[in-house]
């Protein structure tokens, strides 16, 4: 089981879009990957839970977390080989850890906890909640966005992880993300 959550070693820079639901992570991840002509890792949790909802109208339960984590790392490890110097990740195991803590009263599967902290990323783009919340089948916390954002921010601070807060309208978010990634590329790849 643990091998399934282990991050494949790589020379590429790994950037994670990180934060609460409905903050533009997927939209920005796709655009960044196109801009940098590289791969992006979709959020496996969304695919997994949407199928579950569509098939049985059931929501996520604690027992879903390990299969979700396994699927996320399988995608990331497969796409690492296809990345062009950088890999854009629309979430990672640390995000799954945060959601587990929020939804399951602080409980996190041991394997997720271990690899959420062990797997390494070069930069987190912490997505602010200052854009409108958009409802869908899976989103359920429109009134708790600020408190959920605080948990995400505090997690990055607690583990001393490199991050840049991304906020404002879509154009401002784009500009902030590009500036942060370009700076990372200058310092790490040149």
At 87 the three-state DSSP class reads: strand
Its pTM stands at 0.92
Phi, psi of 10 (to 5 degrees): -160, 155
- Mean pLDDT across the chain, nearest whole number? 91
**Mean pLDDT throughout 15-22?**
94
Predicted confidence (pLDDT) per residue in 113-156, tens digit:
999 999 999 999 999 999 877 665 555 666 778 999 999 999 99
- Judged by average pLDDT, the poorest of 2-11, 37-46, 69-78, 148-157 is 2-11
We report the CATH number of the domain holding residue 46 as 3.40.50.300
Which among 133, 169, 162 is positioned nearest to 148, based on CA atoms? 133
Whole domain around residue 9: which residue ranges? 2-189
Take residue 112 and report the two structure tokens written for it.
């997720």
Query: Domains in the chain: how many in total?
Result: 1
Q: Are 176 and 5 in contact (CB under 8 A)?
A: no
């Amino acid at each position: 089981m643990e091998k399934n959550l282990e991050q494949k070693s790589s020379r590429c820079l790994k950037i994670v879009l990180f934060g609460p639901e409905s903050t533009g992570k997927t939209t920005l991840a796709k655009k960044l990957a196109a801009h940098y002509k590289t791969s992006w890792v979709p959020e496996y949790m969304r695919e997994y839970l949407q199928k579950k909802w569509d098939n049985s109208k059931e929501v996520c339960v604690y027992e879903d977390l390990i299969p979700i984590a396994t699927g996320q790392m399988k995608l990331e490890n497969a796409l690492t080989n296809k990345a062009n110097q950088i890999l854009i990740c629309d979430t990672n195991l640390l995000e799954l850890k945060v959601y587990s803590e929020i939804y399951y009263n602080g409980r996190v599967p041991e394997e997720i906890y271990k690899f959420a902290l062990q797997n390494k990323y070069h930069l987190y783009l912490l997505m602010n909640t200052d854009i409108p919340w958009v409802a869908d089948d899976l989103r359920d916390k429109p009134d708790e966005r600020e408190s959920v954002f605080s948990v995400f921010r505090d997690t990055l601070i607690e583990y001393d992880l490199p991050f840049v807060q991304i906020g404002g309208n879509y154009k401002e978010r784009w500009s902030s993300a590009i500036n942060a990634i370009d700076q990372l590329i200058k310092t790490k790849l040149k």
